[in-house]
Amino acid sequence: MTPRTALTIAGSDSGGGAGIQADLRTFFAHGVHGLVAMTAVTVQNSLGVQGFTEIPADVVTAQIKAVATDMGVNAAKTGMLASAEIIRGVAKTLDEIGEFPFVVDPVAASMTGHALLREDALEAIRTELFPRATLITPNLDEVGLLTGISVTDEESQRAAAEALLDFGSRWVLVKGGHMRGTTECVDLLTDGRQYISLSGPRYVTENTHGGGDTLASAITASLAKGASVPDAVAAGKKFIERCVAEAYPLGAGVGPVSPFWVLSP
């Protein structure tokens, strides 16, 4: 039986915890065949990103076209996009290859604070990709950069979600994981009509590298299999909770969230 397919448009993490490496193993864990359009090669370990090299924009778009025209894409997600030129190329190519669920994780920086985007590129994600997106999945730092709103409670989380919806995506997931001083992680999912609050335990760990990528790719995999956005997000949250609960130290810095539990569930 041919499995469903999901495409990740993202960067490589030499440390194997985030980026394409996280996306592919998450797709695999969902029984979905992973397709790749690589945007950048990062040089990094648990202590941080030492640098990155972009893939030329025409090579990024050629990868998308190659797999889309032959193998078919049931859903796609973006992670690290590196430059405005790549973002514009991705947007144009998506218009050419047709309709499927499209998740935009507006990755701006690594958890250690290293920029993964050139300066003008977050604006390009907002204007070029959000209007084409089924769902966007910013964390609170990215929400701040995009809207200027500092989310500290449910009210500001809702205000931020509404401001983000105005940028044109069908759904917005404002992840509450980076909110301080809470015992629960409360994420807010909305399309402007439904407001769905998703609450889960907050696990205390230093090792959260790749968490956002893993959540977005778990959601994308469920969408590739035909789930609704609310069902895909709820399932994705359960998936990432287990990955965070079992995250492990590796190197002297921030270790990765763990995909290994899927081998012995």
Q: Which residues bind ligand PXL (CB under 6 A)?
A: 10-11, 13, 18-19, 42, 44, 49, 79-80, 107, 110, 116, 210, 212-213
Which one, 68 or 257, has the nearer CB to ligand PXL? 257
Which one, 190 or 255, has the nearer CB to ligand PXL? 255
Minimum CB distance to ligand PXL, residue 206 (Å): 15
Which one, 18 or 227, has the nearer CB to ligand PXL? 18
The DSSP element (H or E) to which 219 belongs, if any, is helix 211-224
Q: Of all residues in this chain, which one has the CB nearest to ligand PXL in the complex?
A: 19
40 touches 11 (CB < 8 A): yes
179 touches 152 (CB < 8 A): yes
* Residue 80: CA count within 13 A, CB half-sphere: 29
Q: Which residues of 142-176 are buried (b: 16+ CB within 10 A; e: fewer)?
A: bbbbbbebebeeeebbbebbbbbbebebbbbbbbb
Which one, 79 or 101, has the nearer CB to ligand PXL? 79
Q: How far apart are CA 64 and CA 87, in angstroms?
A: 13
For 75, other C-beta atoms within 10 Å of its C-beta total: 26
Q: How far apart are CA 250 and CA 46, in angstroms?
A: 7
Q: What is the amino acid identity at position 187?
A: D
Minimum CB distance to ligand PXL, residue 35 (Å): 17
Go through the chain and tell me how many residues it has. Answer: 265
Minimum CB distance to ligand PXL, residue 18 (Å): 4
Minimum CB distance to ligand PXL, residue 5 (Å): 20
Minimum CB distance to ligand PXL, residue 26 (Å): 12
Which one, 83 or 110, has the nearer CB to ligand PXL? 110
Q: How far apart are CA 154 and CA 156, in angstroms?
A: 6
Q: How far apart are CA 237 and CA 243, in angstroms?
A: 10
Which one, 210 or 255, has the nearer CB to ligand PXL? 210
Minimum CB distance to ligand PXL, residue 109 (Å): 8
Minimum CB distance to ligand PXL, residue 33 (Å): 21
Which one, 214 or 222, has the nearer CB to ligand PXL? 214
